[in-house]
Amino acid sequence: MDKEVSGRRVVVGVDGSRSSYEALRWAVRYAGLVGASVDAVAVWELPGLYGWSGPAVDMDVDEDEARQKMSRELTDVLGDDAAGSVRTHLVHGNATDVLLRAAEGAEVLVVGSRGRGGFARALLGSVSQHVSQHADCPVVIVRCRER
């Protein structure tokens, strides 16, 4: 990710969950208020890749297809105009580590309160809790609206 971009940056983690979509909307609104750009970061990691056994998933992840899906999701969530102004980054690695690196020098890091995994009743997901404790910039954790 290019952290050398001049001007203010808002980094937002996107994982396909409702909570991350709320975080994306918040990040775009905030960036508009402060004149910042938005970097939407999606992270993929292969489960079982680092264990004792071989990976239990297909190693051929189609990154182009994943980028297209991310682009469609951003357009669905934000609309064509706003989605076109968001820089997208699809990165392989651990979500917490990738988001912390992406947020270096950023105005703010925005994440949803809960991601796709874990316990539905937990107040914070493991990624949002970890980045809130370790980021070098302010962190905003956005809760999903009740339906």
**DSSP of 73-122, one letter per residue?**
HHHHHH-HHHHHTEEEEEEES-HHHHHHHHTTT-SEEEEESS-SSS-TT-
CA-based radius of gyration for the chain: 15
Model pTM score: 0.83
Q: pLDDT value at position 62?
A: 72
Q: Mean pLDDT, 10 residues at a time, over the chain (147 residues)? A: 71 93 96 97 71 52 82 93 93 94 97 66 73 95 78
pLDDT for the residue 24: 96
Type and span of the H or E element at 38: strand 37-44
Check if the beta carbon of residue 86 is closer than 8 Å to that of residue 77.
Answer: no
